[in-house]
Chain A
């Protein structure tokens, strides 16, 4: 196996490393030259070094269908995805703008609902939102921020435009892989880092800690921060324990916590009950508090919502933040930005059709073979229809689902996601990818430098979700040379 860009041609899509004429893009030139200089044996050696490092670092990802051995090694591709810093700065600014507006939107929805009264956001959409939590009305968390941690998925289409595909405002995952990927690259390709001005990513853990500390209702004390996990059978358990270690938070399960008659959350320790100030929760709203949401939830904490409403504990992300993590709400984000900030969105949305609108629905149903149809409230690629690649039966089943619940569905044109060279067996071939930067917000705003690049490991596949067999790459934001 040898990487020479003369053998590598982007296949009618935008390639992140190689231009359409087959020459490396300026920011990627050093990497491409370096890779081209490795012979097959050296490349294989590095690949083995990476596999060994993954095994010893114990990076794993859990899938539900894997039977007994629930830990799976994390599929990692050593060829980085490279982006010039000038391009990234625009994305960074766009994300700050977007998250500022989204948090204003959520806070407004649970309080005055100005945006609804002013006729910008339809009341019936709010009424039909599964993620709008009535129990959260009238509450205004510290700094007015609800979505403290957001993973926004970005994709790049054929013409090079970067679009926002979706905002994950509930319990976004993947940041630990972004950090571990960089560690891997540094240990296996250290010489690349001295030859390139690659911006560091490791400020995240400190920024996360700082963000959580700022949320504590007892600012005069050193806050007790816990990370609430559903437990070892959750697909992201590795990340939960990783982030707990990195931020010094206590990794807890629902049964480790209780809410007292004083509406304070306590954790059960060997020295008795200890007051908890901030909960970084990695379980969905539905399971958070059996007193308020799903009664059958065993992973939640009875009384948690009561404590949160009383302001004795901060929860990140705040319950109900998912109201803006809805693919129908998503289509309104440009208007939301305009409404709250008076600015035009820096990052465009993917053009979308809303099935609750009769005309748009008719268009969607007539063009199922060209569109990607998505459920409004699911994440992780579940329930998705990729029209051009679906069988007629699958399209028919999808049409029936859309007619039965128009509010629950939206559609987008099929984007040709950009690619990057990826090691596939003995050769290097283009594979489609996306990018998930993470945005932290409490007292201030923090955006990761780059983010997690997820790559579809199968040829031609556009599904990058790790739960659907995707892999990942290190993401390099490189200072422009001129």
Chain B
């Protein structure tokens, strides 16, 4: 498989996954605001920080209010991570790869793109926005369905899987990190905080599975604690949006590829760190740093993949061309 092709497929998958999770992030935040008790505060700007684009946002907008932050995350062409930009990039990558991708995929990705054009309309109300984002998530699920059921699980598919799971693990940690952005006077255990964690689980379509499978989930809302949710969304080996599940998926995709020593090493390093950390011991202040570290580990895995598969030839090219001088 050509390096260019592998890279295009990998990024196509990452962009699709990022678009979906950015939608989930916005919906989770909106939900959270409705449940926020008296005396608690939340800064919209922190969302831009959570997705790692705080500086770009500050450069682009004067006021960090809801309208600006949401426009930045959904529609801004200046933000390469905005949902609209992500879908545009995914579509470009998909288009160049039409010869290896199932035919339906292009049509589905194209209709995602057409729908995302509406995000830049002025005056979108909150309910409309919510509907648009839910629709995007649903359509994105259809794309995932086409990939899962209509594409050979060949090398091309492995690269799509790598992109999808690296991005998903990363975005799960970012959605968990919303907790660092709220300030509540009463500490954990308050009903408001439990509602917040329900919101996080809901935004990742995880509430039902959490209730069924998490040892920390009881009958009442009060029993949903940050510790239990963090534990579930990081360590649960069976829920497809948990960090550990994604790491396992990355490992099995890598196992099918040649020259996988370095990427696998980076993967196992990330896995060890995730396993070592006991979420119960993490105070709220430490949680943010821990989530940051996971994001750093995922970036290392990405670098190792890029070096090995997308730019492997650069090393060899240097050798081949060096002899000419």
A binds B: yes
Cross-interface CB contact of B258 among A252, A258, A267, A270, cutoff 8 Å: A270
Contact B321 A269 (CB under 8 A): no
The closest CB in chain A to the CB of B107 belongs to A58
User: B-facing mask of A276-294, CB < 8 A → 1, else 0?
Assistant: 0000000000000000000
The closest CB in chain A to the CB of B314 belongs to A268
On chain B, the residues within 8 Å of A232 by CB distance are 95-96
Residue A412 at the chain B interface, CB threshold 8 Å: no
Residue B259 at the chain A interface, CB threshold 8 Å: yes
Q: In the assembly, what is the distance between CA of A444 and CA of B267, in Å?
A: 53
Knowing A244-B99, A271-B258, say if A261 contacts B4 (CB, 8 Å): no
Cross-interface CB contact of A258 among B99, B103, B259, B317, cutoff 8 Å: B317
In chain B between 270 and 325, which residues have their CB closer than 8 angstroms to a CB of chain A? 308-310, 312-313, 316-317, 320-324
Residues of chain B whose beta carbon lies under 8 Å from any beta carbon of chain A: 1-4, 6, 95-96, 98-99, 103, 106, 155, 159, 257-259, 308-310, 312-313, 316-317, 320-324
Q: In the assembly, what is the distance between CA of A258 and CA of B312, in Å?
A: 14
The closest CB in chain A to the CB of B92 belongs to A232
Q: Nearest chain B CB to A263's CB is how many angstroms away?
A: 10
In chain A between 228 and 247, which residues have their CB closer than 8 angstroms to a CB of chain B? 231-232, 241, 244-245
A-B contact pairs, 20 of them (CB 8 A): A58-B98, A231-B96, A232-B95, A232-B96, A241-B99, A244-B99, A260-B323, A261-B320, A261-B321, A261-B323, A261-B324, A267-B2, A268-B313, A269-B2, A270-B257, A270-B258, A271-B258, A272-B313, A273-B316, A273-B317
Contact A268 B99 (CB under 8 A): no
Cross-interface CB contact of B320 among A245, A256, A260, cutoff 8 Å: A260
On chain A, the residues within 8 Å of B322 by CB distance are 261
Residue A266 at the chain B interface, CB threshold 8 Å: yes
Residue A250 at the chain B interface, CB threshold 8 Å: yes
Contact B2 A260 (CB under 8 A): no
Residue A251 at the chain B interface, CB threshold 8 Å: yes
Knowing A232-B95, A245-B99, A268-B313, say if A273 contacts B4 (CB, 8 Å): no
Q: In the assembly, what is the distance between CA of A378 and CA of B152, in Å?
A: 43
The closest CB in chain A to the CB of B320 belongs to A260
Knowing A241-B99, A268-B313, say if A273 contacts B2 (CB, 8 Å): no
Q: In the assembly, what is the distance between CA of A266 and CA of B320, in Å?
A: 10
On chain B, the residues within 8 Å of A231 by CB distance are 96
Knowing A258-B320, A261-B321, say if A250 contacts B2 (CB, 8 Å): yes
Residue A262 at the chain B interface, CB threshold 8 Å: yes
Number of A interface residues in the complex (CB < 8 A): 25
Contact B99 A251 (CB under 8 A): yes
Q: Nearest chain B CB to A197's CB is how many angstroms away?
A: 33
The closest CB in chain B to the CB of A241 belongs to B99
Q: Nearest chain A CB to B306's CB is how many angstroms away?
A: 11
Q: In the assembly, what is the distance between CA of A56 and CA of B259, in Å?
A: 38
The 3 closest A-B pairs by CB, nearest first: A268-B313, A260-B320, A261-B324
On chain B, the residues within 8 Å of A262 by CB distance are 320, 323
Q: In the assembly, what is the distance between CA of A390 and CA of B4, in Å?
A: 48
On chain B, the residues within 8 Å of A58 by CB distance are 98, 103, 106
The closest CB in chain B to the CB of A270 belongs to B309
Contact B4 A253 (CB under 8 A): yes
Q: Nearest chain B CB to A301's CB is how many angstroms away?
A: 13
On chain A, the residues within 8 Å of B308 by CB distance are 270
On chain A, the residues within 8 Å of B99 by CB distance are 241, 244-245, 251
Contact A273 B320 (CB under 8 A): yes
- Beyond known contacts A245-B99, A270-B1: 13 more, CB 8 A cutoff: A58-B98, A231-B96, A232-B95, A253-B4, A256-B2, A261-B320, A261-B321, A270-B2, A270-B259, A270-B309, A270-B310, A271-B312, A272-B312
Knowing A269-B3, A270-B1, say if A56 contacts B258 (CB, 8 Å): no
Residue A255 at the chain B interface, CB threshold 8 Å: yes
Q: In the assembly, what is the distance between CA of A185 and CA of B82, in Å?
A: 45
Contact A270 B155 (CB under 8 A): yes
Q: Nearest chain B CB to A321's CB is how many angstroms away?
A: 26
On chain A, the residues within 8 Å of B259 by CB distance are 270-272
Most buried by B among A231, A245, A250, A270: A270
The closest CB in chain A to the CB of B308 belongs to A270
On chain A, the residues within 8 Å of B98 by CB distance are 58, 241
On chain B, the residues within 8 Å of A269 by CB distance are 1-3, 313
Cross-interface CB contact of A273 among B96, B159, B313, cutoff 8 Å: B313
On chain B, the residues within 8 Å of A253 by CB distance are 4
Q: In the assembly, what is the distance between CA of A356 and CA of B76, in Å?
A: 59
In chain A between 54 and 105, which residues have their CB closer than 8 angstroms to a CB of chain B? 56, 58
Q: Nearest chain B CB to A251's CB is how many angstroms away?
A: 6
Q: Nearest chain A CB to B101's CB is how many angstroms away?
A: 11
On chain B, the residues within 8 Å of A255 by CB distance are 4
The closest CB in chain B to the CB of A237 belongs to B98
On chain A, the residues within 8 Å of B2 by CB distance are 250, 252, 256, 267-270
Most buried by B among A231, A256, A272: A272
Q: In the assembly, what is the distance between CA of A404 and CA of B203, in Å?
A: 72
On chain A, the residues within 8 Å of B313 by CB distance are 258, 266, 268-269, 272-273
Q: In the assembly, what is the distance between CA of A10 and CA of B216, in Å?
A: 84
On chain A, the residues within 8 Å of B257 by CB distance are 270
Q: Nearest chain B CB to A226's CB is how many angstroms away?
A: 9
The closest CB in chain B to the CB of A227 belongs to B99
Q: Nearest chain A CB to B157's CB is how many angstroms away?
A: 13
Most buried by A among B4, B103, B259, B308: B4
On chain B, the residues within 8 Å of A256 by CB distance are 2-4
The closest CB in chain B to the CB of A260 belongs to B320
Q: Nearest chain B CB to A283's CB is how many angstroms away?
A: 16
Q: In the assembly, what is the distance between CA of A260 and CA of B323, in Å?
A: 9
The closest CB in chain B to the CB of A264 belongs to B320
The closest CB in chain A to the CB of B316 belongs to A273
On chain B, the residues within 8 Å of A250 by CB distance are 2
Q: In the assembly, what is the distance between CA of A58 and CA of B105, in Å?
A: 12
Q: Nearest chain B CB to A302's CB is how many angstroms away?
A: 10
On chain B, the residues within 8 Å of A273 by CB distance are 313, 316-317, 320
Q: Nearest chain A CB to B41's CB is how many angstroms away?
A: 45
Q: In the assembly, what is the distance between CA of A35 and CA of B308, in Å?
A: 60
The closest CB in chain A to the CB of B159 belongs to A270
Q: Nearest chain A CB to B299's CB is how many angstroms away?
A: 20
Most buried by A among B2, B6, B310: B2
Q: In the assembly, what is the distance between CA of A272 and CA of B316, in Å?
A: 7
The closest CB in chain A to the CB of B325 belongs to A261
Q: In the assembly, what is the distance between CA of A260 and CA of B325, in Å?
A: 11
Q: In the assembly, what is the distance between CA of A266 and CA of B4, in Å?
A: 14
Q: In the assembly, what is the distance between CA of A306 and CA of B310, in Å?
A: 27
Q: In the assembly, what is the distance between CA of A255 and CA of B2, in Å?
A: 11
In chain A between 27 and 55, which residues have their CB closer than 8 angstroms to a CB of chain B? none
